[in-house]
A and B are shown apart, each in its own frame.
Chain A
Amino acid sequence: DAGVIQSPRHEVTEMGQEVTLRCKPISGHNSLFWYRQTMMRGLELLIYFNNNVPIDDSGMPEDRFSAKMPNASFSTLKIQPSEPRDSAVYFCASSFVDEQFFGPGTRLTVL
């Protein structure tokens, strides 16, 4: 298994632009999680899905952030419009029962 796949690995964009981060979970996993990691705030859970349904989005910082999971093998995290304070590493993780498997992350820089 290739593990959790995230794309792109690096993204540099200008303030105000739309950014879309993508995640392919491990086949057979039924839960998917989006995290953000910054020096100031550490690892934060943004949102998680179970069986493609959003269960808890209380960590989504504001309306500029949205996440979708149209099917069991794909999820997106969108930021529109992006701001410099959104610069961070965004991780996707998937799980079946108890262990979450993390992707390599997308490093986002908003100028």
Chain B
Amino acid sequence: AQSVTQPDIHITVSEGASLELRCNYSYGATPYLFWYVQSPGQGLQLLLKYFSGDTLVQGIKGFEAEFKRSQSSFNLRKPSVHWSDAAEYFCAVVFFGNEKLTFGTGTRLTIIP
């Protein structure tokens, strides 16, 4: 079955530390891949997306993500987090031939001083 998994429900990191949020998908081909961020009380904002080509994609706010076909993963990274990065992060997938976004369950990021 087609699915997307975010194994970490909640992650806490110190300000200035590096961050990696995990995302895995289950699908027989390469889907379109997205990372969205949701700040409290807000809608979702697109951080970055991958369709094809270079497997390391750069996004807004200093985020990047790497697509690894062999691991069916699309992990989000940031070298140094800021307190303003505290939010909920969603990995999302569009499977071939379908406009619909399938979202992971989200990872809540807490930043400590």
- CB contact list, B46-63 vs A, under 8 A: 46, 49, 51
| B101 CB-CB contact with A under 8 Å | yes
| A19 CB-CB contact with B under 8 Å | no
Query: Which residues of chain A are within 8 angstroms of B102 by Cβ–Cβ distance?
Result: 45
Interface residue count on the A side (C-beta < 8 Å): 21
- CB contact list, B72-113 vs A, under 8 A: 90, 94, 99-103, 105-106
Chain B interface size, under 10 / 10 to 19 / 20 to 34 / 35 or more:
10 to 19
| A105 CB-CB contact with B under 8 Å | yes
Q: Per DSSP, are chain B's interface residues mostly helix, strand or loop, or mixed?
A: strand
Q: Which residues of chain B have a CB within 8 Å of any CB of chain A?
A: 32, 34, 36, 42-46, 49, 51, 90, 94, 99-103, 105-106
For B100, the closest partner residue in chain A by CB is A45
For A101, the closest partner residue in chain B by CB is B46
Q: Which residues of chain A have a CB within 8 Å of any CB of chain B?
A: 4, 31, 33, 42-43, 45, 48, 50, 55-56, 91, 93, 95, 98-105
